[in-house]
Chain A
């Protein structure tokens, strides 16, 4: 696969070989970065970050990744002060920004916006989240974190907890995990179950899937517990949110029943679903997970720019 000029829009566009290749490049870059501090593969290249929606980790980690590759960054982190406020459409914004940059990273509240941007731009476009649809770079960094921690993905028992209905990270992570020989435990309130079509697809692809509401009983089975926030902003109706708010909290008491070496992950930000006391335990992997964003996004930027 020639990566130069390739868009990164959806985990559905990836094969297992693509995923493994990106993870391998990220691992190489992480080692190089550790040895040299910073790299200069992307010297003279410009990344444009177009964040039509707020974000902390994703935007900063793309910017940090580009700086660590030796490139530079332009962009905006909110539509305030941009021509979008004057009513400019997405197509014109993309056609303008591509004149100033070599690669675009876009986050947009509408589903499919990144795909459309990629069709309009001649330069590579990377999706940093489109509404409740996809967040492929988050999925790749999640897989990278698991592989770096356990040395493998195959054979693991992975629990996905929380908002499995609206959470785009768990949808694409589950789809990507279907490439591997894993057992999945889908733990959520009844109201927030994983969409049926995704569960069916996972089963069709040979994944052993267990659906449950019982976190406590499932904990001892798991190698990884991937926790998600119940996202108030994705609920069409506040009453529905109030019914499930605070359904689960992962704390040290609960983790007493966990296997030794079991790891807790979270795409962050968290609200109250993981107690801060867990941060100091051997189970907490979420800040290491944040770090994984750097090598993985460096790999994606470098590959799509054709400099790696």
Chain B
């Protein structure tokens, strides 16, 4: 019965296994509130065998690319993505941290130019385990605690 809480979509993208409470951030990062985007179905705090509780986002009529969805890897590293066509899953993948993070995370260095001028903050991934990013502008490296605080 729990499956029926979130309507099945005939065509589109299902982002599953999002950590509880992070659906809004996922929607924001992927720009899914765009009025030209497809219908959004959201379920939050759904029981999950893997995570205990999870959020799910379904986007009807839009097929998000792997590269596009990877943008959410910092907020939802456990997320899985299903591309649905004609009620069938035609592609399935787990999100992965891309080599570059653009426009999602603010640089924690108050003297970084990206916090003062009109430009998108950009970070290069220096290491995935443990996660370490380097700001494209000020070249300062940041680690997990600071990353979380600036998302």
Contact = CB atoms under 8 A, between A and B. Distances in A.
Interface of A: 10, 12, 89-91, 108-113, 115-116, 119, 130-134, 197
Given A89-B117, A197-B141, A110 B136 contact: no
B138 A112 contact: yes
Given A131-B138, A133-B138, A112 B114 contact: yes
A108 B113 CA distance: 10
A115 B124 CA distance: 14
Contacts of A111: 109, 111-113, 137-140
Contact of A110 (B112, B118, B140): B112
Given A111-B109, A111-B112, A131-B111, A91 B117 contact: yes
B51 to A, nearest CB: 33
Nearest to A10: B139
Closest 4 interchain pairs by CB? A112-B137, A111-B138, A112-B113, A112-B138
A196 B113 CA distance: 24
Nearest to A117: B113
Contacts of A132: 111
Contact of B139 (A108, A112, A116): A112
A112 to B, nearest CB: 3
A113 B137 CA distance: 7
B139 A110 contact: no
A115 B137 contact: yes
Contacts of A130: 113, 138
A12 B141 contact: no
Given A108-B113, A111-B113, A131-B138, 11 more contacts: A10-B139, A90-B117, A111-B111, A111-B140, A112-B114, A112-B135, A112-B139, A115-B137, A119-B119, A133-B139, A197-B141
A110 to B, nearest CB: 4
Nearest to B140: A111
B116 interface: yes
Nearest to B121: A112
Contacts of A116: 113-114, 117, 119, 137
B113 A134 contact: no
Contacts of B119: 116, 119
Contacts of B112: 110-112
Contacts of B109: 111
A132 B138 CA distance: 9
Contact of A91 (B111, B114, B118): B118
Nearest to A132: B111
A110 B141 contact: no
Nearest to A198: B141
A132 B135 CA distance: 14
A111 to B, nearest CB: 4
7 contacts: A110-B112, A111-B113, A112-B113, A112-B114, A113-B117, A115-B113, A133-B140
A207 B91 CA distance: 47
Contacts of A109: 111
A262 to B, nearest CB: 32
A10 B137 CA distance: 10
Given A89-B118, A91-B118, A113 B113 contact: yes
